[in-house]
Structure 1
Amino acid sequence: MLTGKQKRYLRAMAHHLQPIFQVGKGGTNDHLIRHINESIELRELIKLSVLNNCMDDPKEIGVEVAAAAKAELVQVIGKTIVLYKRASEEKNRKIELPAVKAGR
């Protein structure tokens, strides 16, 4: 679970990223989730965009995709979704999150 400070940090990092996946009228599927898992392992932080022809709510899509990919939902703003997952392999780790205070 990410703290507010960590989410702010990740949102700032994601600001300059371009969405690498698009969710269209077909919604989410296993194929999309598999590609998200592969990409998030290498990048740790990714953006998705929900196209106008998708009738599903972007917040619901964000929650669904994050749960399926076992990632953290950082932000849903408009039709843009930001996901974070720490890379399992040490060599792929690029993001160092702010430390959590001992009192938490």
Structure 2
Amino acid sequence: MLDSKARQDLRARAHHLKPVITVGAQGVTTPLLAELDRALFDHELLKVRLPALDKEERDSCVQALAQGCAAEVVGRVGRILMLYRQRPSNAIFVPMISKP
């Protein structure tokens, strides 16, 4: 769990980043979560572009993304979500979610 100072520092680091993942019309799917898992392993901190939905649907999308990849929500500005998951120092990528 990140404290407020760590979140603030991560938001500052994420400011210049471009969205790596875009949630499409199908919403949060297994292949999307697998791709997000891989991107978090590679980058640790990234931005996700959310679809143009109403606020409640976007909130549920944010929760599904964060829980699906065991990531922490650093911040959200409009339709852009910032996620963080620390990578162990000597880790080898093993997918959390398998593609069908």
TM bracket, shorter-chain basis: 0.7 to 0.9
Q: Give the length in aligned residue pairs.
A: 91
Counterpart of 2:21, as a letter, is F
Distance 1:27 1:51 in 2: 8
Q: Which amino acid aligns with 2:65?
A: V
Task: Write the letter of the residue equivalent to 1:42.
Answer: D
Q: Distance in 2 between matches of 1:13 and 1:91?
A: 23
- Map of 2:78 onto structure 1: 78
Q: What is the identity, as a one-letter code, of the residue corresponding to 2:90?
A: E
CA displacement at 1:60 relative to structure 2: 2.1
Q: Deviations over 1:20-78 (max 9, x none)?
A: 111122101000000111110110001000133x5673222111101010011111210
TM-score (norm 2): 0.81
Residue 58 (structure 2) pairs with residue 29 (structure 1): no
Match of 1:13 in 2: 13
Question: C-alpha separation between the residues in 2 aligned to 1:58 and 1:14?
Answer: 20
Over aligned residue pairs, what C-alpha RMSD do you find? 1.9
- State the partner residue of 2:95: none
- Structure 1 stretches of 4+ moved >6 Å: none
Gaps of 5+ in 1: 93-104
CA distance in 2, matches of 1:75, 1:88: 22
Measure, in 2, the Cα distance between the counterparts of 1:36 and 1:74: 15
